[in-house]
């Protein structure tokens, strides 16, 4: 069954030509080849302010430049979030994008904050997170505990009802041979075909 997919490409460099971009392209090609609808959100191409107050987060609206991104997220079945690991977590601009778009009333709704009750408004959506990094992926996972990835999975996506959430960690990106790089592109193409 064809799915609607949003690829959120979170590398902050607008120049492109990064592995994150290539992985996003490969996923999109695989998905489109299988008949899935693919929408792209290129974080580096967006210019938006940071959230600075609790009041704005709780009752404000995303800036107009992010409204199409929020509409895209609302109207897909599957999210693919791709980003490079910077200081153990996602780049700041990607976190700022998620703060602006995953607001109360869109991604979740407070029911009784004192008792920790809320409604998850993004139920029915699944996700794949792809993280590129300079270190070996197993070091990030086992020594550092993949804390940044876990936070995105549990505290942002899971909190809003997104499930299941799959992950791919691409380590040693500066050391990848041409064959290893191609293997990752082929893997992403296959994930795109399966919309997983």
Tokens of 10: 């979170």
Q: CA 27 to CA 176: how far, in whole Å?
A: 19
Averaged pLDDT score across all residues of the chain: 96
Task: Spell out the domain ranges in the chain.
Answer: 4-194
3-state secondary structure of 86: strand
Q: Which residue has the tokens 């994150």?
A: 20
Tokens of 175: 């050391």
* pLDDT for res 53: 96
* pLDDT for res 142: 94
Domain 4-194 fold: Rossmann fold (3.40.50)
* pLDDT for res 171: 98
113 pLDDT more than 80: no
Residue 54 CB-density burial (10 A; 0-12 exposed, 13-18 middle, 19+ buried): exposed
From 171, 159, 96, select the one nearest 135 (Cα to Cα): 171
**What is the dihedral angle through the alpha carbons of 44, 45, 49, 51, rounded to the nearest 10 degrees?**
-50
Q: CA 156 to CA 22: how far, in whole Å?
A: 25
On whether the CB atoms of residues 7 and 24 are closer than 8 A, the answer is: yes
On whether the CB atoms of residues 34 and 190 are closer than 8 A, the answer is: no
Between the CA of residue 61 and those of 123, 148, 155, 175, 188, what are the distances in Å?
21, 26, 21, 42, 34
* pLDDT for res 116: 78
63-98: per-residue pLDDT in tens? 999 999 999 999 999 999 999 999 999 999 999 999
Q: How far is CA 131 from the centre of its chain?
A: 9
Between the CA of residue 76 and those of 4, 59, 87, 89, 136, what are the distances in Å?
5, 24, 30, 25, 32
Q: CA 44 to CA 129: how far, in whole Å?
A: 18
14-51: per-residue pLDDT in tens? 988 899 999 999 999 999 999 999 999 999 999 999 99
On whether the CB atoms of residues 96 and 51 are closer than 8 A, the answer is: yes
Q: pTM of the entire structure?
A: 0.96
């Amino acid at each position: 069954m064809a799915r609607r997919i949003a690829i959120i490409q979170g590398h902050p460099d607008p120049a492109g030509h990064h592995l994150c971009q290539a992985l996003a392209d490969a996923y999109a090609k695989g998905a489109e080849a299988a008949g899935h609808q693919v929408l792209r959100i290129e974080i580096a191409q967006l210019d938006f302010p940071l959230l600075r107050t609790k009041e704005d987060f709780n009752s404000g609206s995303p800036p107009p430049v992010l409204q199409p991104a929020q509409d895209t997220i609302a109207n897909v079945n599957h999210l693919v979030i791709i980003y490079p690991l910077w200081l153990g977590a996602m780049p700041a601009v990607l976190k700022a994008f998620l703060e602006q778009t995953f607001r109360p009333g869109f991604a979740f709704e407070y029911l009784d904050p004192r008792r920790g009750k809320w409604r998850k408004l993004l139920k029915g959506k699944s996700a794949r997170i792809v993280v590129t990094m300079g270190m070996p992926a197993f070091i990030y996972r086992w020594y550092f505990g993949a804390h940044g990835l876990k936070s995105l999975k549990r505290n942002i996506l899971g909190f809003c009802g997104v499930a299941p959430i799959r992950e791919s960690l691409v380590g040693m990106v500066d050391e990848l041979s041409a064959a290893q790089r191609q293997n990752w592109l082929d893997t992403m193409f296959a994930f795109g075909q399966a919309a997983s």
